[in-house]
Each structure stands twice: as C-alpha cells, then as structure tokens.
Amino acid sequence: MEPGGPWRDPRQGYMYGLGSPMQMPAQQRSDPAAAGGVLKRSLGELERWQHQRQFAMQQELYMRAVRQRTAATSPAVSPLTSADIAAVLGGVPAQPFFSGSSLGGGLASPSSTLSSLTTASRAAMPLIQQHVQRQAPFLPSSAHAQAQAQAHALAVARVPAPSAAGSELSILQDLEKQLLGDDEEAEPAMSGTGSTVTSSEWEETIQRLNSITAVPSPPLYAEATPNNKNNYSAAMTGSPSNSSTSTASSSASCSPPISATTSRQLLSEAAAAIADGNLETAAANLATLKRAANPRGDAEQRLVAVMVAALSSRIAPTASASSQHLADLCGAEHHTGSQLLHDITPCFRLALDAANIAIVEAVAGHRVIHLVDFDINAPQHAALIQRLADRRVPGTCLQVTAVTDPTSPFTQSLAATLPGVGERLKKLAERAGIEYHFRMISCRAAEIEASKLGCEPGEALAVNLAFALSHVPDESVSPANPRDELLRRVRALGPQVVTLVEQELNSNTAPLATRFSDAYLHYGAILDALDSTVSRDSADRARAEEAVANMSANAVGREGADRLERCEVFGKWRARFGMAGFRPVALAAGIADQVMARAGAPPPGLVVNQENGVLRLGWKQRVVAVASAWR
C-alpha cells in the first residue's frame, strides 16, 4: 500500500497543500466494546487541529515568499522549535508541521472535514510564482517545472531559535527577521534583540495574510493564443484572469504582432477566398490585417497596406470605384508618379539607361536619328540626349515622334502635357549641341506606317517600347489583339533597333491567386528598394509610392477589361516578339558595367545580371525589370 495514498493508516493526519504526512494522536474510545479500535476525534480536538494547520500554512507562505539568507550574512542562531512558536502565539499545543527537511512529497487527499484549508493552500501559489518571476522573468516554458521546483526548495528555510535570555517578543522578532530579511538591501542598525520590525507590524502582516482570498493562479508562461490570451495576460501581470479590467486591457496590449509571414498567409488566403467567391472569409482576413497595415511604416507594413486596399476593393465593387480606379491609373498624376518611380528606383532607371545604350550603339555614326516612342519618359529622353552628345558626332539631329492611341485610356490625358515635355527636352538638347525636333502623332496600332510617322530615307530609325506594351490590350481582352498588331506594324517600319523595358511581373492572364503572389513579391521589392535609396520624407517618393499603390490595385483588384495594365514576364515577351518576326539583338558585353558606372555607388541590394543578351535588374532576391533589344 502506498504510504501517501488516501488509503493510508487513518491514524495519520495530513498537512494539506504541503504534501507531507504528519502524525496525529489517535483518539481511542473508552467504550470497552471498541477497545483497541481507532475511532473519530472529538469536535474540539478537530477545531484545535485546524487552527494549528492554518498557522502552519501562514508560516509556509512567508517562508516561500522571502529568500533565505546566506551563511555569510545570517546570524548564527539555533533552530526555533514548533513548541517555541506555539508558546509565543498563545499556548497552542505544539505539533510538528514539517515531516523531514523537505516539503516536496506527494500530495495526499484530505477528508471533507478539512476542506476549509484549501483556501490557504491555493493562496500560496501566487507568492511562489512571483518569486520565480523575480528570479527568472524570461524562463522558457520548458524550464517552468524546474523553476518551480527551485522556488519550492528555496522556500524551505530553517527558522532561527531565540537566545537563551530572550523573551517571547524576542523570539517572535528573531523569527520575523529571518523571514523578511533581504541580502540585497543595506543592513539597518540592529537593536538589542536583533529585530527591526515591531510586533504590531508583525500582527498587521498576519492580518493581511489571513485576508488573502483564493484565486486560481494561471501558468507563468502560457503561450498566447486566441483561446488563452486573457489568461496569458493575467499570468504576466499577476492579475486574476476573471477581472474584466485585466481582460479588456490584455486584448489590446498582449496581442502578438502579426509577422510578415502571417500577413502574407492571410493575404494569400483572402485572395483565394475572393477567387472562390467566399467574400466573408476574405473580409475577416482583411479586417485582421488592417492592424498590421501602416502606410507610414516600414516597407513590409506599407506593402500590407497597399495589398489590403487592393483586395478590399473587390469585396464590394461599385461603379464609382471602377471609375475612380480608371482615373487613378490613367490620369496625369499617375503618369507623373510612374515616371518618378522609374527615375528614382535603381532597377527601372538602369534598365532605361540600358535601352539608351542599345539605341546609341544601333545608330552608330549616323548623324540623323529618328526615335519613335509610344510612351515618352522625360528622364529617359534626357539621359539619351546626353549619351548622343557624348558620341561627339558633328551635326547630330534627333527627331522624336510621340505616338498616342486615341482609344487608349492611358494616352488621352497626355495630350495637354506632352507639348510641354517636348519643349523642355528641346532646350536640354540645344545646350548639349544637338538639333532637336519633337512632334506628336495620334493613331491606332493598325494605322501605324512609315509615311504617317514621317520617316525619311537615310535616317537611323529606332523604336522605344519601354513600359508601353503592357498598356496595350492583347488577345485576352480584345479579339483584335492590338498588342500583337502593334508589334507587326513596328517590324514593318524596318528600324535599326527596337528596345523593350518591362516589369518582370505576370499580371496579364494568370489567375488571381498567382497574380497576387507575384505582385506581393514584386511591389514588395520595389518598396524595399525605395526605403534603401530615397529619403522617407521625399515628395517624389510619396508620389512614386502612390503610383505603386495604383499599379497593385490594378494587378490584383481588377478583372477582365478593367485590368488596364497587363504586364508579362520576359519569356512571354520573347515569344510575342518571335511570332511578330523579330530576332533578338544581344546587348553589348559590357553594358552592365556601363549602367553601373552611370549609377555611381550602387545600393547594396541592387543586382544586375547580363544573361543571354538581355539585362536583368533586381533587388535582392527578386528580378524587377528586364531590358532587351530586337531587330
């Protein structure tokens, strides 16, 4: 039979909550018929025994809540016996309340008569937990049991005995001194009895201890999950978990921040839910993500804000939202922001410079150069003028023809701004010693021909398609397939070179989930690059990031003909150019070094890779733009 089990010898009592059996004198009946048998104790003896147990629990609480003095600082005193303690507290018959030197034995189940002791037993737990928190506030959960065991062992301190000449008060004072002393604080001046706390203070402390109410103590280091968030807060603050104030504050203060991985997962699930028509799930995920979205935060937080806004536009689409998206993506403000984005983002700026190098090499020593451009980028043209001037060919003349499609929403708002752009470029060219002519032509893709563009014999013709083809619908939008039609018409012009610069992004025919994943990585790399290269308080950066928000809203927030900008990865562009009759022209072997030299000191995250005749420019692990040449 196990000694600590409830089936043990009933003549032995239990120190409930401490786990050590204690001996209780068995009450024998005077009834001869029951001689030698163990019978019930009288009510008076039971009440006196309960009083002793409560006092023992009070001593247990104090000894567990304070730290034992070391041998170097503790006075040399003899152990105080339980008889001495009983004598001080009013002549209660002394019973040993320790069994052995440790309190770590197995818990024994008390009888129902002793249930009143459970309050004091449970009240001991918060003090032990506080002691563990002071000693090791950042213990991992795996060390929790070990920490509690150490705290338990630390609590079992020996009680000092009084001096031979000490009175009852000195005995109590010595006991209090051993219990409440602190090695880390300076030692106060000792009185003759060695006590610094009066007996009245001791009595007040005993009164406070007796008023402790039993509350369930939560685990010290519980994992914060949606189901135990309030308990986790109570454990860390020492407050009961059923307190309404603690519960309300813990929901806001102890909610773990949403990590980048979690944000991406929730966004992916929202995109998949939208694709499946489960708008309630998508709305719930997006509502959760709004806590992590911060348009003024770091790159990850700004990306989450951009993607949440893009996906939210699909929850309850309206006609006004569609018209607003059209205005945001195709207006003059977005065009200006896009050009700023291409100019201040290293990947785009260097890709455009690579196209300029390909144009200059293709026209070689020609004096008259005719450049046909379907999307005038002022910074790119300014850099091209400088590179043509560096050739030092006397009498260089640059003829620029800007082609706009009257049916395209991207070019309709530019009619009023392009003439001003041409005037500024003309002044720049004149200062560089280059004759400059600028003209605008409005025609559809099917109407493009040499005579309409003003092509002349003997001139070197170059066509620039940088960021233009992604704005032209393809076969997935229109049966006429204006995109391939434009390529065929350009090839019929017989140019020396056709340059292509596009984002490495699949936002054309891919399903929503794929488009979202690609857009998340792509625009995340762009925002991170802006963080590393442009000051956060820059006005140009703010306008560029607004353009990024419009692009991402188009990529993941629109379907069908409403998705106006349709980017493709380079492999698909290569297939289209091949079907239109073009052959690739390898960029110069040293073009990567040339663009890097023009860029000056490259930022750490920039990656430039020349492979198979094309130049890929990326940020860290993501290819952002690809520059290529065709003929």
- What pLDDT digit, counting tens, does each position of 94-153 carry? 444 333 333 334 434 434 433 444 444 444 444 444 444 444 444 444 444 454 544 444
Q: Residue 411's pLDDT is what?
A: 81
Of the candidates 482, 439, 466, 445, the one whose C-alpha atom is nearest the C-alpha of residue 338 is 466
Q: Residue 562's pLDDT is what?
A: 92
| Whole-angstrom Cα Rg for the chain | 42
How far is CA 176 from each of CA 90, 121, 326, 582, rounded to the nearest angstrom? 17, 21, 80, 96
The mean pLDDT value for 548-572 works out to 95
* Res. 58 pLDDT band, cuts 50 70 90: low
* Res. 51 pLDDT band, cuts 50 70 90: low
Q: 343 or 115: whose pLDDT is higher?
A: 343
Q: Residue 402's pLDDT is what?
A: 96
- What pLDDT digit, counting tens, does each position of 271-286 carry? 999 999 999 999 999 9
For residue 471, give the DSSP letter: G
What global pTM score does this model have?
Answer: 0.61
Residue 315 has pLDDT above 60, yes or no: yes
d(CA 549, CA 95): 78
Residue 204: helix, strand or coil by DSSP?
A: helix
Q: 11 or 478: whose pLDDT is higher?
A: 478
Q: Give CA torsion, residues 290, 292, 295, 300, to 10 deg.
A: -130
- What pLDDT digit, counting tens, does each position of 190-210 carry? 434 344 445 455 555 555 544
- What pLDDT digit, counting tens, does each position of 346-402 carry? 999 999 999 999 999 999 889 999 999 999 999 999 999 999 999 999 999 999 999
Amino acid, res. 177: K
CA 443 from chain center: how many Å?
A: 49
* Res. 80 pLDDT band, cuts 50 70 90: very low
d(CA 491, CA 17): 92
Q: Residue 318's pLDDT is what?
A: 74
Report residue 449: phi and psi, to 5°.
-155, 160
* Res. 258 pLDDT band, cuts 50 70 90: confident
**Residues counted in the chain:** 631
Give the least confident one: 181-185, 209-213, 251-255, 304-308.
Answer: 251-255
> How do beta strands 606-611 and 614-619 pair?
antiparallel
d(CA 71, CA 10): 41
Report residue 36: phi and psi, to 5°.
85, -10
Q: Are 465 and 500 in contact (CB under 8 A)?
A: yes
Q: Residue 317's pLDDT is what?
A: 77
d(CA 145, CA 433): 82
Q: Residue 173's pLDDT is what?
A: 59
The mean pLDDT value for 259-264 works out to 84
d(CA 156, CA 67): 10
The mean pLDDT value for 203-219 works out to 45
Residue 323's Cβ-side half-sphere holds a number of Cα atoms within 13 Å equal to: 3
Q: Residue 144's pLDDT is what?
A: 45
Largest CA distance in the chain: 139
d(CA 493, CA 226): 65
Beta bridge partners of 611: 614
CA 509 from chain center: how many Å?
A: 31
Q: Are 624 and 401 in contact (CB under 8 A)?
A: no
Q: Residue 296's pLDDT is what?
A: 86
For residue 169 the two structure tokens come to 């008060």
d(CA 265, CA 81): 65
d(CA 340, CA 135): 56
- What pLDDT digit, counting tens, does each position of 577-595 carry? 999 999 999 999 889 999 9
The mean pLDDT value for 310-325 works out to 83
Q: Residue 349's pLDDT is what?
A: 95
Residue 325 has pLDDT above 50, yes or no: yes
Q: Are 384 and 356 in contact (CB under 8 A)?
A: yes
Q: What is the 3-state secondary structure (H, E, C) of 4-28?
A: CCCCCCCCEEEECCCCEEEECCCCC
Q: Are 461 and 493 in contact (CB under 8 A)?
A: yes
Q: Residue 207's pLDDT is what?
A: 55
Average pLDDT of the chain is 74
Give the least confident one: 42-46, 160-164, 262-266, 391-395.
Answer: 160-164
d(CA 77, CA 88): 18
Of the candidates 281, 307, 280, the one whose C-alpha atom is nearest the C-alpha of residue 294 is 307
Residues contacting 467, CB < 8 A, separation 6+: 338, 342, 375, 377, 501, 502, 503
Q: 61 or 258: whose pLDDT is higher?
A: 258
Q: Residue 164's pLDDT is what?
A: 43
- What pLDDT digit, counting tens, does each position of 442-462 carry? 999 999 999 999 999 999 999
Beta bridge partners of 403: 441
Q: 361 or 14: whose pLDDT is higher?
A: 361
Beta bridge partners of 460: 369
Of the candidates 170, 191, 177, 20, the one whose C-alpha atom is nearest the C-alpha of residue 87 is 170
Q: Residue 423's pLDDT is what?
A: 95
* Res. 292 pLDDT band, cuts 50 70 90: confident
Beta strands of 97-180 (E only): which ranges?
none
Q: Residue 326's pLDDT is what?
A: 86
